[in-house]
Structure 1
């Protein structure tokens, strides 16, 4: 057995590449994916041809057009990208154990047997690249990294783009990544980099040589120790995080910024969040609303409640909080809104209520009605049944 346990695959300019695969007329040309179909939006992805002109994620549409007059813009179609993600995932899983789909364009694969050494892993990656190009499309390319754990494999996967293959292990660490800045590493924000600087850790080599117990103090969490041990090559597994809540937020398009329209969007967000809550078999014991009016600080309030998964209960709490917010937002347009269902627990863990009456883990009548609406919407299409008037506001993650 060789030293490598994880293969990390990072699709190259995935959204733009999918669009180029579907439309041969834009292959080899600069392409940018936008979140909104107008000149006021920004680019959420760019092809490598567009990146060569300086177009990046976050570049405004007018600026991208100025940098690259020949650029082609396409509105994002996340569902299309998800379908391609699943096709790629199915191929990868044929060749090795697909441990996790880390995001719409990133995959984590467990290595074992002959592919745990460098030559075996390289041959495996070559086969996978050929299969993806043949079965999904020649425009779909990826960079791959291998390492003794998921963190080093992920860092290795970012070292050579596009279409690259790199490894990080005992033979080249930490010198191979010594040129990186601290906040180039996944999981280190600018704020965390500031903490490290304050502790005298100013470069990658110092971080790799840090005592993991000292890292726990700097991070103020065991995650610091886990991170440094991973950098040092220990086989630290990913930890499954416990879900803290279900929420949706939305940067509002101009036509939905008036409070009356934004309120209807909030009702739509609640329907989406509550449906996900029920799908996970959970209940929430708090409801939070935040509103961001132009020219003023964000307004945020929460209501505690008995644990529930009833959409209409969350709608009533939402209405009560909008009434509280009205003096603050009256006469102003809203830039963004958000809802959050918090203090979650499993439905099966909820105690019974003799006054309602329901037994432990049983659904109320309202919750059963909500679940029935979920079933109908899943079968006949979202929005077939709505909980009163709302305003759908699909964006980046709903198109396609």
Structure 2
């Protein structure tokens, strides 16, 4: 059989064949540490969200432009964070966590009031933001760093340490009051713990503890928070008061039918029956104007993002990266589930926006920063594996 050798170069080394266009594209994405599939899905979601927001805001173009600019800033933050290695993220875990806790303390002391809650810090003439959003990333970052230094699966001693790390910021957020965000911040840490491999005996014990703590939680809830739970159970008892929001949102969802009423032609939203239609209840606008088909299209995009994120998390080489990436993408899934659940009436209203669709700046930056961490873990893993 004839032997085919590569031609020799100037220095006696085999000359490599020209790299294909696909190889060059892969090399480019590796150099900028971004995942093209995940980035493409996020851009598609954000563009679709702006289309829905234009209708939900009453065709307010200024609001749409402002949201687009916020998306631009969030994408920049994502691209910057993606450049850092998992080792750098690990070193930053404790400082970021401590800064987040200090800002929550600052909110408690001198936070800005809005809609009956003290949740914001204001730098006059510069920015107004919610430090609790930062904890959605700082919490899983700190808990995964803590767990990765200890034997896994974690035992009760490790869980007590995690409980302290989780309890301090969660209690500060709940005092603002913002029970919805407090639960989501706690969930981000709990996912990291579950992914570390708890035994069923410990999981059962924790479930019993949580169930036993529910009466205490009920007693310490604010009146409006208890009213939300009661309204969830029976919204028709106060249709013009506490039950108004959920009744209008479910009416909007149901009236959309299979194909919807058409973009800009929703009655509940355009006639302003639907409250908070550009933020927490924007999914009701989506369902009314685009129908079940439109809702399913958005759910498919979200599902593809979650699946891609889980695949990236599964390729992580070290425990810290695997736990952190997994907790971030599962927390993203919980945001979607809770928002759609509360708007459709299967969960109490807790004030959680629909990711990258609802109007808001801080939440968009936080979400895309999390995806930046996810891409950083995956892209640096690929470079190390060469």
State the TM-score, normalized to the length of structure 1. 0.22
Higher relative contact order (CA 8 A, sep 6+): 2
Please state which structure has a larger fraction of its residues in strand. Answer: 1
Please state which structure has a larger fraction of its residues in helix. Answer: 2
State the TM-score, normalized to the length of structure 2. 0.23
